Structure 1
Amino acid sequence: MSDDDPVSELRTAATKLDAYREDVETVGRDELRRLATTYRDVERILDRFEERATDPDDFQGYIEFRETLTDRLESAPADIRHGEAFIQANDALTTAVTSSLSSSDFERARTLLADVRADVELLESLQDAEDAYRSKRRAVQSAKAELESRIDRLERIEELGRADIDAPISELRTPIERYNEAVTEAFERFRRESSARDVVDWLSTAELFPLVGMPSPPPRLESYLHTADVGDEPLSKLVEYTEYSRSKLDHYVDSPQEFDAAVKTNSQFLHRVDGEPLTVSWPPAPASTVRWRARELVSVVGRFASESVVSEARSVRRLVDRTDYERLREAAIAREELTDDQREKLRRGVISDELSSVRDEYEHVVSCLDAHPPLGD
């Protein structure tokens, strides 16, 4: 990996974090927190009162400043770190009644508190280092996820490369395409020639066969079509009616309002009802999936299609009984998924070399994450 990769950046962040931790622990985290509280309060007092305390005409401002600063310093622990610096800064901001403070006095006080400020900034630097560590570790975790994804893709390519690419996949494809064409035409005929009521009833029955995957009819639509005369019309006519105005629709249905509520609101569903869920995908699914789904398809398709279409479904079902089904299926998947470039790389061993390199890089990243655990809250 390059010097600016996530692993190197995490290691650098860890080194900086360790250094700041050591500096903080040398003083003591609780001691620094106590010091930081006092210093920030004093800093705010200086910022708040500087303009008034340096105004010769605002004696009251000077008095309020002195009282506020004195009260805060007196409330600080007697053994506070850099206590002498606070005393010196306070002395620099104390003047006789006949004199007034200047901006240079405030500047000198802040200078006297420089060592205090440096210690306080240790805590801020430690927090920044912890934030940077967390950020860099997340980057390494992202790199790990990306490498895992690359390994999965390369392993998949290698797996597909082991398929018998020259196997006669048409022995699977031809029966499946023949069935898909037949069932699509049969369903279009069923949808076109049957009443909407019959189609919806068939969809309700198809719910008993979940592997088929036909959409379930909306209950309100189903109930309406069972009672309304318009249920005798084909689905295509109902879809046409959904585009009519209320006044025009009044000539075709008994209650346009009921029609709109039950049918028009489900017009998208009516548009989506087609034979696509009844088809078999290519490349086909594993044998167990096709076996059980084809059985359900035979039952469902037989309720609206001719015996010839059902016979095609049975032909698909019998495909999984072939001893070479999985070999042909893997060959079909390989032909679909592998590009010419990937096949050439497989032939030359490039994929294997790349996979080995990525695995090494992955182990490198995992080792880095193991060596640099997440920070506790």
Structure 2
Amino acid sequence: MSTSKSAADDPVDQLRRAADELETAQQRVAEFGEADLRQLADAYEEFTGILGRYEEPATGDGDFQKFIEFQGRVETFVEELPEDILLREAFEESDDHLQQRRLSESDFEHVREQLSPVADLVARLTDREDARDEYERARKQVRDRLREVRECIDDLERLQRLGGADLTAPTERLREPVERYDERVTDAFTEFKQEASARAVLDFLDRTAVYPLVPFQPPPADLKSYVDSHPPGTKSIPELLEMADYSRSKLDHYVDDPAALTQSVGTQQTYLRRLDGEPLTVGWPPPAAEELRWRCQELTAVVNRFAPDVVESLRAVERLPRETAYNRLRDSAVAEAELTDEERDRLTSGAVADELATRREERERLADALDEFSER
């Protein structure tokens, strides 16, 4: 699996640049002081808000009362500004310009131009926030890339481990007990589904919900309710499915409530038809030894409910990690089943080892970058 990045996309370089830009932005704020810039930003926002609200009624032949009100608001605003506020003179000059007998749109444009030095200073705060956001995005890119690289390393290490497996190992020592159990439990479940009542089968499936390693899909609630409370629930699933295909007139001869059967069973035919013993199987290649141990424990409890005679075959599977060189044989089985010709070629040529070394170096570089550039 290749996860190479071009130099232009290198997330560590992007993080380093973002850190430099954030430091510059922070210094630009510190040059005037956080508190003073925020005081100026509040004043600028309030003053430009006044300009925006009154520009239309105070210009040309607008509302004279609003015009007088506007000039009073501006004058009061400037008078109440703190004496030590940054660029107070820009507000004073704006007030002087606006105290005319008549104002036009160009006067408001002129005042906004007079306030541009204020806007530039205020922008230092937003520039710093933008730089901080970019810095955090860059850190996230490094974290995401580190996760990708770690996943890639896991895949490569697994591939390398499989490449070292002995493909001549006697994997039949595992295969034979596993396939014997899988075949027996599949046949037993098929027989159970065909011969037991639908009520018994769905009750069994409902009870398996407490066993997460036996992944049956739970029965739909409406179907379970119907088979629990209506006489057709005592029939087998094949019989129920056959009845669901009957015409309404024919169904009238077999059940008291044809509509209920059609609604509850007819709409769940796909679920019923697809029910098989696959969730009860171990599968090939078998799982790792620890997973096999837990899975066999749950399977024993479940299989014992409908096919106790099959449990003996399951116990033979459960004993494999204790009675065989399980990990070695399993690695051979997995390699035999999963390694593609391309992967074998990459292993033989050394490409897997080379990429693994490269990814490990990248992992260290990414991790070091996250340590160097912490959250700010």
* Amino acid in structure 2 at the alignment position of 1:347: T
SS in 1 for 2:323: coil
Superposed, which structure 2 residues align to 1:197-346 within 5 Å?
199=201, 230-244=232-246, 247-256=249-258, 259=261, 267=269, 269-287=271-289, 289-290=291-292, 313=314, 316-317=317-318, 319-346=320-347
**Alignment-derived partner of residue 82 in structure 1:** 87
2:65 aligned to which of 60, 67, 74: 60
**Alignment-derived partner of residue 369 in structure 2:** 368
Output the CA distance in 2 between the equivalents of 1:267 and 1:320.
40
Say yes or no: does 1:9 pair with 2:14: yes
Larger radius of gyration: 1
Output the CA distance in 2 between the equivalents of 1:18 and 1:289.
50
Output the CA distance in 1 between the equivalents of 2:15 and 2:203.
63
SS in 2 for 1:27: coil
Output the CA distance in 1 between the equivalents of 2:303 and 2:63.
97
**Alignment-derived partner of residue 119 in structure 2:** 117
**Alignment-derived partner of residue 140 in structure 1:** 142
Contact kept? 2:56, 2:62, Cα under 8 Å: no
Output the CA distance in 1 between the equivalents of 2:64 and 2:146.
66
In the TM superposition, residue 114 of structure 1 has moved relative to its aligned partner by 2.4
* Amino acid in structure 2 at the alignment position of 1:368: A
Instruction: Kindly tell me the number of residue pairs found equivalent between the two proteins.
Output: 371
In the TM superposition, residue 29 of structure 1 has moved relative to its aligned partner by 0.8
Q: What is the TM-score with the length of structure 2 in the denominator?
A: 0.83
**Cα distance, 1:223–1:53 mapped onto 2, change above 3 Å:** closer
In the TM superposition, residue 174 of structure 1 has moved relative to its aligned partner by 3.6
In the TM superposition, residue 202 of structure 1 has moved relative to its aligned partner by 6.2
**Cα distance, 1:256–1:4 mapped onto 2, change above 3 Å:** closer
Q: What is the TM-score with the length of structure 1 in the denominator?
A: 0.82
Structure 1 stretch 54-63 or stretch 235-244: which is displaced more?
Answer: 54-63
In the TM superposition, residue 148 of structure 1 has moved relative to its aligned partner by 1.2
1:40-90 per-position Cα deviation (integer Å, ceiling 9, x unaligned): 222222333334434157543431221111121122112211112222222
* Amino acid in structure 2 at the alignment position of 1:372: F
**Cα distance, 1:355–1:248 mapped onto 2, change above 3 Å:** same
* Amino acid in structure 1 at the alignment position of 2:141: A
1:278-301 per-position Cα deviation (integer Å, ceiling 9, x unaligned): 322100123455467557767866
**Cα distance, 1:25–1:248 mapped onto 2, change above 3 Å:** same
Please report the RMSD computed on the Cα atoms of aligned residues, expressed in angstroms.
Answer: 3.5
In the TM superposition, residue 180 of structure 1 has moved relative to its aligned partner by 2.9
1:94 aligned to which of 99, 115, 123: 99
**Alignment-derived partner of residue 36 in structure 1:** 41
Output the CA distance in 2 between the equivalents of 1:191 and 1:358.
51
In the TM superposition, residue 337 of structure 1 has moved relative to its aligned partner by 2.3
Contact kept? 2:14, 2:138, Cα under 8 Å: yes
Aligned residues with identical type, % of pairs = 44
In the TM superposition, residue 201 of structure 1 has moved relative to its aligned partner by 6.8
Q: Which sections of structure 1, spanning at least 5 residues, go unmatched?
A: none
Output the CA distance in 2 between the equivalents of 1:203 and 1:109.
78
**Alignment-derived partner of residue 107 in structure 1:** 109
SS in 1 for 2:83: coil
* Amino acid in structure 2 at the alignment position of 1:118: D
In the TM superposition, residue 314 of structure 1 has moved relative to its aligned partner by 5.7
Q: Which sections of structure 2, spanning at least 5 residues, go unmatched?
A: 1-5
